[in-house]
Amino acid sequence: GQSLEQPSEVTAVEGAIVQINCTYQTSGFYGLSWYQQHDGGAPTFLSYNALDGLEETGRFSSFLSRSDSYGYLLLQELQMKDSASYFCAVRDLNQAGTALIFGKGTTLSVSS
């Protein structure tokens, strides 16, 4: 089967940098996605890594190492509005479709 592991909680202060790690186990691999979800809201797409290396989008970056089955989301210049849950996800390759399997999520709390 497929599984993803990520820390359940991370805390940081405004202006800091935080890294949320994700390790995955899957028989095949099609890319690692990251999503943000504010309390009770819709998950929103942040980034996608299909190849090794760093992808940067503004204050957020995502990294992938396929050989280590590992990726991380890096959030810089943290703001209070970044307090949310962050999910890593991989393609469900056990199925013919294109559904994503999500990790249990990391709750990020940013304090002033």
Interface residues toward other proteins, by CB under 8 A: 30-33, 40-45, 48, 50, 87, 89, 91-92, 95-105
Closer residue to other proteins, CB minimum distance, 29 or 74: 29
Q: What distance in Å separates the CA atoms of residue 7 and residue 22, rounded to the nearest whole number?
A: 8
Closer residue to other proteins (CB): 42 or 81: 42
DSSP 26-70: -SS---EEEEEE-TTS--EEEEEESSSEEEEETTEEEEEETTTTE
Question: 40 or 81, CB closer to other proteins?
Answer: 40
Least distance (Å) from other proteins to the CB of residue 76?
22
Question: Whole-number minimum distance, CB 23 to other proteins, in Å?
Answer: 15
Q: Minimum Å distance from CB 104 to other proteins?
A: 4
- Burial class from Cβ neighbours inside 10 Å (0-12, 13-18, 19+) for residue 107 reads middle
